[in-house]
Structure 1
Amino acid sequence: MQELVGVSQPCEGAIFANRIHHDPAMVAHDAFVNIGVESEIAVRIAHDLPISDGPYDRNNIQVAVVACMAAIEIVDDRAIDYGLVDAPLLVADNSFNAGCVLGERVSDWQNLDLAGLPGRMLINGDVVGEGVGGDALGHPFVPLAWLANNLNERGTMLRMGDIVLTGSIVTTKWLQPGDHIVTEVDGLGRASLTVT
């Protein structure tokens, strides 16, 4: 995604509570300008992450992860001119985020090689993309630590119960009415979405 929009750092966007769906989920195509999906590993935060405990890195942030899960990020391309995209514009557009679908929580993730976990996206039963957990900055906890530090620098923090999507392991796929999407991540299960 960073290459697609030409930025050199991760970008964050808020996931609004009313747009967090659980597997299986259904959304209406006409509720979006141009709906797309990405396959991700999501994490749930175990406790607040104040600046006094930072800075955070891939290793020390692990204790703040109570669960990992397969997830679908729902994105909406609101007719942005990609030639003009920079980090401030992405933030203003909420980094394209329009919600997510969460699979079952996996609380015993500690013995999984999250960076090496294979994942795939299927649309209408066909595999349309594959990757591994490390495709997003080398390890899912790298963008998590980046986000925690970035928020701390601005005087806020990740809080207990927050959901963080750690970056797509496949390129964005654009959808049509009737599409059925499944994200699978070995060891973390699946999440599914139907577009009506």
Structure 2
Amino acid sequence: MPFDIDAAAAALLDARRSGTRLDALPDGARPGSEADAYAVQDAVAGRLGPVAGWKVGAPSATATPARAALHADTIFDSETGICTLPASLFHLIGAEAEIAYRFGRDLPPQAGPYDREAVLAAVATMHPAIEIADTRFTVFGAVDPHSQRADQQNHGVLVLGPGLTEWRHLDPVTQPVRLTLDGTVLHDRVGGNSAVDPVRLLVWLANEGARSLGGLKAGQVVTTGSCTGTDFVTAPTRMVAEFPGLGSVALAID
């Protein structure tokens, strides 16, 4: 039986609209490979509208990265103060402190391949960020990895702090990070990203990961994986991610 991309995309889109969670994708619509998972991601993206950003990550310094396209309805800018979101927006709340990059110009696939310096030259600003991990499935992490990949790689929302234009002196590998939840420090460390070097992820995304959806474009933001792991919390809650030298971002979920 051929893999049914449209049925998988329809199930995920319906779960988004209705708030009803899936125990699994339908028979015949469960991706059996990375290519299948990305085909579903792209089909969902085509129905959700223009790509406003990306999440990219890797489980180790040498592992092949994975990505998900993000859209404007789940990306929030918090230039001043605190971003406040309703708890009804979430099924689960998995707090992650991340570093994000906003691109200032396009990197069209046909003009590549791009090396590290070319990708960094296209970055306009660097941001402290909080990503909330969530799922369209009933139980987080209970379905197979390809189905999780198809489901936007467990993306909930992305909250961006103020963008830093003079960011070249910052090394994300040695960047300190502190995540505070309701006044209690959960993590205070240096680095912490499982991929080690987030810039490697940006280069992969520019050359391979974003190709099927037109490549990286000016205005898109890319968040590069958690520096603090994932902490599942309950609402109401207030979290602050601090990156000394880069800035901080705060999120309240009520």
TM-score, normalised via structure 2 length:
0.68
Q: Counterparts of 1:5-16 in structure 2 under 5 Å?
A: 8-16=63-71
**Which of 129, 141, 144 does residue 85 from structure 1 map onto?**
144
Structure-2 residue corresponding to 1:60: 118
Asked if the contact 1:114–1:134 (Cα under 8 Å) also holds between the matched residues in 2, the reply is no
1:188 equivalent to 2:246? Answer yes
Asked if the contact 2:104–2:122 (Cα under 8 Å) also holds between the matched residues in 1, the reply is yes
The structure, 1 or 2, with the larger RCO (C-alpha pairs under 8 Å, 6+ apart) is: 1
Asked if the contact 2:192–2:228 (Cα under 8 Å) also holds between the matched residues in 1, the reply is no
1:43 equivalent to 2:98? Answer no
> What is the CA-CA distance between 1:159 and the residue it aligns to?
0.4
> What is the CA-CA distance between 1:155 and the residue it aligns to?
6.1
**Which of 5, 13, 18 does residue 73 from structure 2 map onto?**
18
> What is the CA-CA distance between 1:91 and the residue it aligns to?
2.7
> What is the CA-CA distance between 1:76 and the residue it aligns to?
0.7
Cα-to-partner distance string for 1:84-139 (whole Å, 9 max, x where unaligned) = 422x3233211111211111110000122222111121101111123444624222
> What is the CA-CA distance between 1:173 and the residue it aligns to?
1.1
Cα-to-partner distance string for 1:45-103 (whole Å, 9 max, x where unaligned) = 011111233223433311011100100012213334636422x3233211111211111
User: Secondary structure of 1:144's partner?
Assistant: helix
User: Secondary structure of 2:94's partner?
Assistant: strand
Going from structure 1 to structure 2, the CA distance change for 1:139 and 1:13 (only over 3 Å counts) comes to same
**Which of 155, 180, 187 does residue 122 from structure 1 map onto?**
180
TM-score, normalised via structure 1 length:
0.87
Question: What amino acid is aligned across from residue 85 of structure 1 in structure 2?
Answer: D
Identity of aligned residues (%): 32
Total equivalences in the alignment:
191
Structure 1's consecutive aligned runs of 4 or more residues displaced over 6 angstroms after TM superposition are: none
Report the RMSD for the aligned CA atoms in angstroms: 2.1
Asked if the contact 1:38–1:73 (Cα under 8 Å) also holds between the matched residues in 2, the reply is yes
Gaps of 5+ in 1: none
Q: Distance in 2 between matches of 1:28 and 1:62?
A: 35
User: Secondary structure of 1:101's partner?
Assistant: strand
Asked if the contact 2:134–2:140 (Cα under 8 Å) also holds between the matched residues in 1, the reply is no
Gaps of 5+ in 2: 1-56
User: Secondary structure of 1:106's partner?
Assistant: coil
Stretch deviating more after TM superposition (28-37 or 41-50): 28-37
Q: Distance in 2 between matches of 1:145 and 1:117?
A: 19
Going from structure 1 to structure 2, the CA distance change for 1:19 and 1:84 (only over 3 Å counts) comes to closer
Asked if the contact 2:141–2:148 (Cα under 8 Å) also holds between the matched residues in 1, the reply is no
1:100 equivalent to 2:158? Answer yes
